[in-house]
């Protein structure tokens, strides 16, 4: 009896898997089209096309063209700065696996409060405020500061070793291991040269700098 049931399950398993695959394939829809303005019919670039409820989405290209794979019953949200958000529903009863649309977005005008620009009362006050106004660094000044020797030294301490440095470290460790194969390696605690290097590093503040960098 058990062998008969197992034989029936083995025969029906491919049919069940095939039915599930056909059901999943029928529920997939290739949604594509172009997103345009409702007033001038021009393609809108960089429109966010998001499937609501799932971490899935895409953007329209420079001509407003997009393409995305969705499922029947999904809600597709079209949003862009300066336009009203629109939600498209893919019906469960939709037949076929391709859905092409021309989606029109309506401009959403945002009116900001009025800004009144007034001149300085006196020339002396203008000159004083102009001199004392802090000006933020531009990209060139920030790049120049990052290229200084002190800044490069600070940034280099947090960088991981590259492939060449990692390979050289591994080779040095392997050479030291094979050099002392079969005997105990020397202890640097009794090495006066190692103590001299340690004292010099302590005076330079190497250990203090490493601690402050890691914090």
Q: Where are the domains of the chain?
A: 2-105, 123-214
Nearest to 77 by CA among 87, 68, 67: 87
Residue with tokens 């899935």: 56
Reported as a single tens digit per residue, the pLDDT across 105-132 is: 999 877 778 888 877 678 888 888 888 8
Reported as a single tens digit per residue, the pLDDT across 69-101 is: 999 889 999 999 889 999 999 988 888 888 999
Rounded Cα gap, residues 106 and 111, in angstroms: 16
Rounded Cα gap, residues 31 and 69, in angstroms: 6
Confidence of residue 35 (pLDDT cuts 50, 70, 90): very high
What's this model's pTM, rounded to 2 decimal places?
Answer: 0.44
**pLDDT at res. 19:** 46
Q: What is the DSSP string of 139-169?
A: HHHHHHHHTSHHHHHHHHHTSPP-HHHHHHH
Rounded Cα gap, residues 158 and 166, in angstroms: 15
CATH number of the domain at 2-105, please? 2.60.40.1120
């Amino acid at each position: 009896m058990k062998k008969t049931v197992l034989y029936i399950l083995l025969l029906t398993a491919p049919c069940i898997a095939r039915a599930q695959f056909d059901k999943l394939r029928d529920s997939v829809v290739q949604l594509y089209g172009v997103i345009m303005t409702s007033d001038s019919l021009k393609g809108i670039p960089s429109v966010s096309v998001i499937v609501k409820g799932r971490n899935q989405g895409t953007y329209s290209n420079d001509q407003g063209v997009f393409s995305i794979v969705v499922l029947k019953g999904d809600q597709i949200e079209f949003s862009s700065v300066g336009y009203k958000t629109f939600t498209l529903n893919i019906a469960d009863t939709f037949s076929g696996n391709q859905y092409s649309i021309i989606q029109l977005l309506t401009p959403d005008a945002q009116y900001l409060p009025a800004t009144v620009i007034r001149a300085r009362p006196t020339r002396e006050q203008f000159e004083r405020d102009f001199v004392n106004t802090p000006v933020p660094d531009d990209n060139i000044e920030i790049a120049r500061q990052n290229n200084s020797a002190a800044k490069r030294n600070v940034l280099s301490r947090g960088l991981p070793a590259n492939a060449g440095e990692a390979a050289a470290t591994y080779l040095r460790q392997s050479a030291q291991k094979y050099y002392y194969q079969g005997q105990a390696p020397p202890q640097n605690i009794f090495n006066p040269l190692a103590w001299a290097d340690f004292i010099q590093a302590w005076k330079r503040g190497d250990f203090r700098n490493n601690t402050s960098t890691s914090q």
